[in-house]
């Protein structure tokens, strides 16, 4: 199926380990999509294999839970070839993740690939910092950035349609 043939919005969020940032992005975007009445498939993955099968980091789970979002049921996985065809949008948390994704992008991919922050006009090109070696305060500030982008993304999909965004 060509990219233009995808009528079902499907978004994959990608970070390094798939235990901190992208699980929070998956949860935040699910909540934002529900608020905007969007029907979509949402998932997350990592470029690295270290944490395959693991639950999100307990700090990420707690940060999301404190904001009313349950991400405790997620299990980490690594990005795979079929993701480039199955998803309409693949959104990386930082420049290194984006480079890792680009290095394995099939020539005939159909997904649109960008940084998550590209969705916000005034944050284009910016990365979400890796909170893994940080403290709770860093998880809180990472959540705030991710949640703002997730809300902006859902709003744009609702207003502009899935083929017009990024």
- Give the catalytic positions in this structure: 15, 21, 130
27 counts as binding ligand 4NP under rule CB under 6 A:
no
* DSSP at 113: E
Site for ligand 4NP contains 18 (CB under 6 A) = yes
Give the span between the Cα atoms of 35 and 45, in whole angstroms: 24
Stretch that binds ligand 4NP, among 17-25, 32-40, 106-114, 149-157 (CB under 6 A): 17-25
**Based on CB atoms, which residue is closest to ligand 4NP, 77 or 112?**
77
C-alpha to C-alpha distance for 166 and 146, rounded to whole angstroms: 17
**Residue 17 lies near ligand 4NP (rule: CB under 6 A):** yes
Q: Measured in whole angstroms, how far is the alpha carbon of residue 5 from the centre of its chain?
A: 22
Closer to ligand 4NP by Cβ: residue 17 or 152: 17
Q: Which of 19, 25, 71, 115 binds ligand 4NP (CB under 6 A)?
A: 19
Stretch that binds ligand 4NP, among 5-13, 15-23, 84-92, 103-111 (CB under 6 A): 15-23
Site string for ligand 4NP, 119-138 (x = CB under 6 A): -----------x-x------
- How many CB atoms neighbour CB 135 within 10 A? 9
133 Cβ neighbours under 8 A, 6+ residues apart: none
Q: Judged by CB, which is closer to ligand 4NP: 41, or 50? A: 50
* In the chain, alpha helices (H): 21-35, 58-65, 83-86, 95-103, 136-160
CA distance 12 to 14: 6
The footprint of ligand 4NP (CB under 6 A) covers 15-21, 50, 130, 132
């Amino acid at each position: 199926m060509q990219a233009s043939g995808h009528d079902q919005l499907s978004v994959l969020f990608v970070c390094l380990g798939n235990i901190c940032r992208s699980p929070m992005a998956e949860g935040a975007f699910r909540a934002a999509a529900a608020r905007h009445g969007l029907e979509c498939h949402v998932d997350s993955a990592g470029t690295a294999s270290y944490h395959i099968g693991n639950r999100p980091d307990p700090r990420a789970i707690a940060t999301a839970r404190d904001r009313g979002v349950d991400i405790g049921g997620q299990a980490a996985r690594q990005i795979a070839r079929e993701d480039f065809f199955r998803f309409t949008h693949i959104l990386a948390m930082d420049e290194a993740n984006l480079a890792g994704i680009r290095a394995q992008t099939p020539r005939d991919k159909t997904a649109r690939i960008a940084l998550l922050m590209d969705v916000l006009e005034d944050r284009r090109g910016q990365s979400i910092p890796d909170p893994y070696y940080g403290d709770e305060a860093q998880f809180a500030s990472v959540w705030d950035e991710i949640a703002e982008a997730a809300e902006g993304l859902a709003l744009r999909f609702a207003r502009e349609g899935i083929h017009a965004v990024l």
